[in-house]
Amino acid sequence: MKLHDGIDVFSPLQNAIVTIGTFDGVHIGHQKILKRIRNLAQEAGGESVMITFWPHPRFVLHPEDDSLKLITTFDEKAALLEENGIDHLVKVGFTREFSQQSSDEFTRNVLVKQINTKKLVIGYDHRFGKNREGSFDYLKANASSYGFTVEEISRQDIDDIGVSSTRIRNALLAGHVEEASAYLGRSYALQGNVVHGQALGRELGFPTANIEIPERYKLIPADGVYLVAASFNEQRYFGMLNIGWRPTVDDKKHTIEVHLFNYHGDLYDQHIRVDFLSHLRAEKKFDSLESLKTQLEEDKALAFKLLNL
CA distance 105 to 212: 42
**Torsion sign over Cα 57, 59, 64, 68:** positive
Q: Strands 47-54, 16-20: parallel, antiparallel or unpaired by DSSP?
A: parallel
Could you say which DSSP state residue 108 is in? I
Q: Is the peptide bond before 63 cis (omega within 30 degrees of 0)?
A: no
| Whether 234 is catalytic | no
User: CB-based contacts of 216: which residues, under 8 Å, 6+ apart?
Assistant: 66
Q: How far apart are the first and last CA of the chain?
A: 39
Longest Cα–Cα distance in the chain: 73
Say which of 47, 151, 152, 257 is annotated catalytic.
257
Residue 68 Cα to chain centre, angstroms: 13
Q: Which positions are annotated as active-site residues?
A: 257
